[in-house]
Amino acid sequence: MTRTAIVTGASRGIGRSIALALAKTGLRIVVASNERENNDKVVAEIREAGGDATPLFVDMTSPESIKEAFVAAGPVGILVNNAGVTKDGLAMRMKKEDWDFVLSINLTGAFLAAQQVLPGMIKERWGRIINIASVVGQSGNPGQANYVSSKAGIIGLTKALAQEVGSRNVTVNAVAPGFIETDMTAKLTQEQRDGMLAKIPLKRGGQPDDIAAAVKFLASDDASYITGHVLNVNGGMYM
């Protein structure tokens, strides 16, 4: 039986790389995001490479949309909670709507997605949930109180779920990227980039494929005895 993996935020960047990497392992991939056109492009890439993929629209700010999407996806064996956004600003001036928006997608959305897949995983006594956290969820970062809090929350959620469902052979882990070359980091100034690179012992940024490789491992049978773990993929940026 071919298992299904659903990747949220899979329309570009890290999510796209994760979807492509998992597809190469023979999984059926559900490419889920709120970008219909980009979903279709990623699905086309997977199919052209001989993989099995389906596009799925989901609004991660909407509990109703999440529920509808996961019903449409069918039984899910692997969930990758990758969808994430930023709305940066100093805490003392941060608008509540910017706080709520980031938390609703990055943390609440991940929780609601997990809720949708856990009953089926528990029934099958097999499942993988892999949450994409961030180095800043461990280290903190000025100007990102909302994003940092959401990613620290993801780490806590990972550990809580791992303890709840481990006895049912369902593992829950997190991958914490560091400075990865994506559309999100492309917006940084050269000064900001130089400051980030100075903190990285490997003296370079990572690529989306570096994160995808870690997710692929945690989704595999080789990682069957790993749960509640945060795998840092950051070039040594935070130790």
Query: Structural domain boundaries of the chain?
Result: 4-227
- Judging by DSSP bridges, how do beta strands 78-81 and 4-8 pair with one another? parallel
4-227 is classed CATH 3.30.420.40: no
- Distance (Å, rounded) from C-alpha 129 to C-alpha 171? 6
- The two tokens of residue 130 are 């892999």
Q: In this predicted structure, what is the pLDDT of residue 76?
A: 98
Q: Within its chain, how far is the Cα of 65 from the centroid?
A: 18
SS3 78: strand
Catalytically active residues are: 147
Beta-carbon contacts of residue 67 (< 8 Å; ≥ 6 apart): 112, 116
Q: In this predicted structure, what is the pLDDT of residue 187?
A: 76
Q: In this predicted structure, what is the pLDDT of residue 185?
A: 78
- Distance (Å, rounded) from C-alpha 87 to C-alpha 190? 20
Beta-carbon contacts of residue 195 (< 8 Å; ≥ 6 apart): none
pTM: 0.96
Q: In this predicted structure, what is the pLDDT of residue 188?
A: 78
**Is-contact 200 227, C-beta < 8 A?**
no
Ordered mean pLDDT values, 10 residues apiece, the chain (239 residues): 95 97 98 98 98 98 98 97 96 98 98 98 98 97 96 98 98 97 81 89 96 98 98 95
Q: Rg for the chain (alpha carbons), in Å? A: 17
**CB-neighbour burial class of residue 230 (10 A; exposed 0-12, middle 13-18, buried 19+):** middle
Q: Which amino acid is at 113?
A: A
